[in-house]
Chains A and B, each alone.
Chain A
Amino acid sequence: MDIFVCIKQVPATSKVEVDEETGALKRWGVKSKMNPYDLYALETALRLREETGGRVVVGTMGPPQAQAIIKEAYMMGADEGYLFSDKRLGGADVLATSYTLSQAIRRIGDFDLVLCGKQTTDGDTAQVGPAIAEHMGIPHAVWVSEIRPCEGGIEAEQQLQEVIETVFLPFPCLVTVEQDIHTPRLPSMKKQRETKDRKVTVFGLDVFLDTDEEHYGLSGSPTQVERIFPPDSDQMHEMITDGDLAGQLHLMLRKWKFI
């Protein structure tokens, strides 16, 4: 199975500050890492390759320093890596990002399966994966907790709110995987040494099938971020000390709509 995995570089900490004036995340001096949710997608891809053969290709859109996560993917076992880096791609919203990635994947080749993490820790929209599939015109499934290869496609188990739905997706298709589908393997120092000369292919929008700049980056983004702010954190404590403790707890959980 030939698999493309979308990965993204995100801030390494959840304590990133927000610039009150511009609404942008203060990224200067903040360490980066691979989006933790993408690690589940990459691990799933590596296990499917071990089971069925084929290759695992990773790709990311980002600045030149995002090469670091491609190298990290090599340390985990990825075969090839691509960085889509071009100033004209900057400032992209969900629509432009997903369109860019769909163009990039098409440019690289034909894949049976495109895998994504269910969301990123810095954007949190969980929309880019499905939107790539829509741009590519291929079937997709989200919140997938298990993938079984089968004739001409895969069977995927989707974790819906109250049920697990098993769906068949014919190749080519796209899946976003749930956290904990598999525990991601750790990067290997041995592989770091084996792949130290493996190149990361970098390209921009000039090599895409669609080279119209209006479809990418800020120009191709119909939505703009107005303000980013940390969510409020509320903590409440209520002690139950007398009477029917379980009954009172039950009523309280109902009142707060936990059950």
Chain B
Amino acid sequence: MPFSRVSVEDIAYFKSILSDVRVIWGDAISEDYAHDEMTEYGSFLPDALLLPHSTEEVSRVMRYCHQNSIAVTPRGAGTGLCGGCVALHGGVVLSMQEMKRLLEVDKVNMTATVEPGLLLMEFSALLEGTGLFYPPDPGEKSATVCGNIMTNAGGMRAVRYGVTKDYVLGMEIVLADGTVTELGGKVVKSSSGYNLMQLLCGSEGTLCVLTKAIVKLIPEPKANISLLVPFDSLDQCVSCVPDVLACGCEPTAVEFMEKEVIVAAESYLGKQFPDKNADAYLLVRLDGADEAVLEPRVQRVTDLLLSSGARDVLLADTDERKSGIWDARGAFLEAIKNSTPSMDECDVVVPQENVAEFVQKSRDVSREEAVRIRSFGHAGDGNLHLYVCRDALDDETWEARRAQAMNRLYSLAKTMGGHVSGEHGIGHAKIAFLEESVGETQMSLMRGIKKVFDPEGILNPGKVLN
């Protein structure tokens, strides 16, 4: 669908709603707004960047754009990894970064109400001292809480607590035509018609603009401990994960990491990792009400891991020890990025029983396609992050090998019953893989849903669906 470019008259109208300083256009728009974290997926500057401060302003902008066929791309902190928040068709980028208040922490209902621009790290800092805790824990802490909702981000604690959608209780949204409506609320159960709210989680701004969210909080676990578990081989390391999950130790996170990625993180952070003698590591985190609760669980999982071929089980029980490990884990993506001029990423999720096989076969892909692939990920929930690195390849060779390697990784996931994305979303970069994975029936249903929510197709066009 052809969209109108933003004209001088449009800018004047936006300024009448938002004031001069919150309407940026033309050359004044920073290049940062042309891409997300994956600059490899192209540069797309919008015609105008709008910075609303209220739902009312968002509504008026949407109504105007709807009437004038102007494409609108909602954007949080721009930390996505599949080109989800870029203005592929020009028009307006609606940046939610200045609507960032924590509106309420309700200790009785154990909920928090947030505006869309509040960052994950700001949210957890604001919850300190309340005794309450927001469990979703995506690696990118400078992402927004609501951006996480719109991509249904998962994160490392998904093994125990689930993913972002499991914590969304209510939403205030603005529809494509400017209509404002509220979904859900502070209730923990609802069997009241279609669950639109859950449909909107992960919709990547293609169905509505999220202007407020009510999220569920839980009592803060007072104690936690992390175990770093060295193995002689990645295969051995990943193979024991189903037993770890089944042993009753109730892990919060189970991550796997390879020596090469650890070494890259050391060099990126300029900080030594506490152990790098082994080829592969599992990182297991346990949460509990106090240390006494954790002790028998630590012993139980230690028994299991040592009998499954682990070289040892190393204890990270103080803040310094935990940060020595988790800081490195948090830097893996940046460290891999830093090690190569360009890369492509794959965020597949496969059933638990296939994790070891998938990782093993990804190594075959790397060898056979002669391209370096680095991986790490959430071994405990089957969500794997694989990075195909360009290194010194020339344009033509890189493009051919990248495409071949990515196709093979996605087909492999499909044959195992896996999905295209575990938590990063589809954006515009993964649409072809989504179509291939879910097939025409599901794509057709999704197109139908899009049509109902956004008949003019102005909301984040070219994302999730073509």
Task: Show the binding face of A for B, using Cβ within 8 Å.
Answer: 12-13, 31, 33, 36, 39, 75, 182-191
Contact = CB atoms under 8 A, between A and B. Distances in A.
Contact of B274 (A12, A184, A191): A184
A189 B312 contact: yes
A186 B320 contact: no
A12 B273 contact: no
Interface in B340-358: none
B316 A186 contact: yes
A234 B155 CA distance: 35
A183 B315 contact: no
14 contacts: A12-B318, A13-B319, A33-B317, A39-B320, A183-B271, A183-B274, A185-B274, A186-B274, A186-B275, A187-B315, A187-B317, A189-B227, A189-B306, A191-B312
A177 to B, nearest CB: 15
Interface of B: 227-228, 271-275, 291, 298, 302, 306, 312-321, 324
Contacts of A36: 318, 320
Given A31-B291, A189-B313, A191-B312, 17 more contacts: A12-B319, A39-B320, A75-B315, A183-B271, A183-B272, A183-B324, A184-B274, A186-B274, A186-B314, A186-B316, A187-B315, A188-B314, A188-B315, A189-B298, A189-B312, A189-B314, A190-B313
Given A36-B320, A189-B298, A190-B306, A182 B314 contact: no
A186 B276 CA distance: 12
A181 B318 CA distance: 19
B312 A190 contact: yes
A59 B107 CA distance: 47
B247 to A, nearest CB: 15
Most buried by B among A13, A33, A184, A186: A186
A182 B272 contact: yes
Contact of A183 (B227, B228, B273, B318): B273
A145 to B, nearest CB: 14
Most buried by B among A12, A183, A191: A183
Contacts of A12: 318-319
Contacts of B272: 182-183
Nearest to A31: B291
Nearest to B315: A187
Contacts of B319: 12-13
B366 to A, nearest CB: 30
Contacts of B274: 183-186
Contacts of B306: 189-190
B95 to A, nearest CB: 21
A187 B298 CA distance: 13
Contacts of B302: 189
B273 A188 contact: no
A251 B320 CA distance: 36
B9 to A, nearest CB: 31
Nearest to A33: B318
A182 B271 CA distance: 10
Contacts of A188: 312-315
Contacts of B320: 36, 39
A42 to B, nearest CB: 13
Nearest to B318: A33
Contacts of B275: 185-186
Nearest to B271: A183
A183 B265 CA distance: 15
A186 B274 CA distance: 7
Nearest to A36: B320
Contacts of A39: 320
Most buried by A among B291, B306, B318: B318
A36 B324 CA distance: 12
Nearest to A75: B315
A186 B227 CA distance: 9
A190 B306 CA distance: 8
Contacts of A182: 272
A259 to B, nearest CB: 22
Nearest to B272: A183
A117 to B, nearest CB: 12
A225 B318 CA distance: 28
B315 A189 contact: yes
